[in-house]
Amino acid sequence: MVSSWGFYGRSGELEQLESILRRGRWFFARVSGRRRIGKTALIQQALRSVDAPRFLYVQVPDSAPAGVLSAVSDAMDTFGIDETRFRRPATLLELAQTIGALARAGTIVALDEFQYFSRKALHEFTSHLQAVVDELSRDSAAVPGGLFVLGSLHTELVALLDNRDAPLYNRTTDHIELGHLDVESILAILREHADLTPERLLFLWNLFEGVPKFYRDCFEQGVLGSSRTELLARMFFLSSSPLRSEADNWFLSELRGRYDVVLKYVARHPGCSNGDLVEHVKTISHESPEQVGGYLKILIEKYGMIEKRLPIFAAPTAKKGRYYLRDNFLRSWLACLANPVSAINFQPLARLVEQADGRLVEAEGFGLERLVALLYEERSRKDMGDFSLSDRIHGYWDRKNLEIDLVAIDEPGRRIRFGTCKRSAAKLRHDLANCASHVERFLNEQRQYREGWTVEKVAIAPRIDAQMRAEIEAQGFIAQDLRDLTAGL
């Protein structure tokens, strides 16, 4: 095992940032992505790579101007900004002017959670910053510093930077959208710091997806390679657990208790329909169906917490969509961990951890489908494996109880592959005939794939032994497990 934590993945984004920093001239760059995804760590790594001399990082609080200015002053002290050369700003106008002065002196400034400047009390800052940015842009070759703005709420960032009526519209020079680490990077982490087994990959990916901070937290606590129950107890259930309040502090606090019913139901019933959700809300809350629709719209468009998926071939306006939480960590927290953790003062620790782990095992069935789809896409993108995708992998369903977990299409190769996923390989034995029946029904409805197309069926589980492989292949299916799908990554 490697005893120190490294920097994993992000090679393309790191190269882009290094290129920005090596220009030696003014830049105004946006770095966006969900919280804890590694925006700050990426900038720090790039700064080390190019040996940038001066840096100021400010975590912008969601507060009144006084709170923001206090945070800026504290950050300037922490990063050793000379008080005799750069005064501590006392107004939002002075804050913008100080950023300009720092940039002219060669300092790289990073404002994290920049979306909070969309708040009414802070919004004047964007007009002040516009004037400074325009001045620096006119003299860009003589300005060796630059400004990074980091944000985690997509809609509010768009309102500040992309809205035609916004003061900062069309001012940014660069934009980097930071997503989850790819599976190859997660595999690298596990190879260095844990035992890389299909079961551990599924457990950790279903819990943390591609958020590097969470894997590092586990490493720092010494449990990345521990048993499931030991990891859960140490990371979530003890008074000192680093992730015990993560969801509330970083995801749910801005909602201030709104939308709880919708979020919890979607977390516990991934793939639910609008009708399912409305019926549930009617039984436990006074909200009307119209309010549920409004909640979904906000959670999808503003916060990016929920996504609506349509089956393959469905029109974008189709109503038979299904709803899912976008984030694995938030889904695992709301569906499996929040209730047991909240009962820690009233129930034995071991019992609560066992309860949470049991719920996570159930949630890993859906998690496996998502992981497999991601692996198919990643392997195709990297020109690996036995299937080249021409479109992202989808599921298929209709109102006649026809359901297929995965549908992958290789248009140039005239191949279509149907998949069934089970967390337990033993359950595949009883599902193959049902899957084959659903594939036939699909082909009867989508007859364009009957002639001139190679039809393949695949059965997928985390681990499939030799005997089960033989049984699966005898029924006309390809057997794949996570070892097959991660080979070579």
User: pLDDT tens digits for 32-60?
Assistant: 988 889 999 999 999 988 876 799 999 99
Q: What is the pLDDT of residue 3?
A: 83
Q: What is the pLDDT of residue 101?
A: 96
Q: What is the pLDDT of residue 416?
A: 95
Distance between terminal CA atoms of the chain? 19
Task: For residues 106 and 109, give the distance between their C-alpha atoms in angstroms, rounded to a whole number.
Answer: 10
Q: For the segment 375-421, what is each residue's pLDDT rounded down to a tens digit? A: 999 999 999 988 999 988 888 787 678 889 999 999 999 999 999 99
Q: Which of 404, 403, 381, 400 is nearest to 392 (CA)?
A: 381
Mean pLDDT by 10 residues, the chain (489 residues): 88 94 94 90 90 88 96 96 94 97 96 93 96 96 95 80 91 94 96 95 97 96 96 95 85 72 92 89 74 86 87 76 92 95 95 97 94 95 91 79 90 94 92 94 90 95 96 96 95
Compute CA 420 distance to the chain's CA centroid, rounded to the nearest angstrom: 25
CB 475 within 8 A of CB 486: no
Domains and CATH numbers, the chain: 11-177 (3.40.50.300), 181-364 (no CATH), 385-486 (3.40.1350)
Q: What is the pLDDT of residue 267?
A: 94
Q: Which of 79, 80, 17, 26 is nearest to 49 (CA)?
A: 17
Q: What is the pLDDT of residue 197?
A: 96
Q: What is the pLDDT of residue 287?
A: 66
Q: Which of 438, 486, 478 is nearest to 462 (CA)?
A: 486
This prediction has a pTM of 0.91
Which tokens is 276 given?
Answer: 């399912």
Q: What is the pLDDT of residue 268?
A: 94
Task: For residues 281 and 262, give the distance between their C-alpha atoms in angstroms, rounded to a whole number.
Answer: 8
Q: What is the pLDDT of residue 256?
A: 65
**Cα angle 188, 194, 199; round to 5:** 90
CB 111 within 8 A of CB 147: yes
Q: What is the pLDDT of residue 53?
A: 75
Kindly write down the DSSP assignment for every residue of 339-405, as one continuous string. Answer: HHHHTTTTS-HHHHHHHHHHHHHHHHHHHHHHHHHHHHHHHHHTT-SS---SS--EEEE-TTS-EEE
CB 235 within 8 A of CB 223: yes
Q: What is the pLDDT of residue 66?
A: 97
Q: Which of 252, 247, 219, 266 is nearest to 341 (CA)?
A: 247
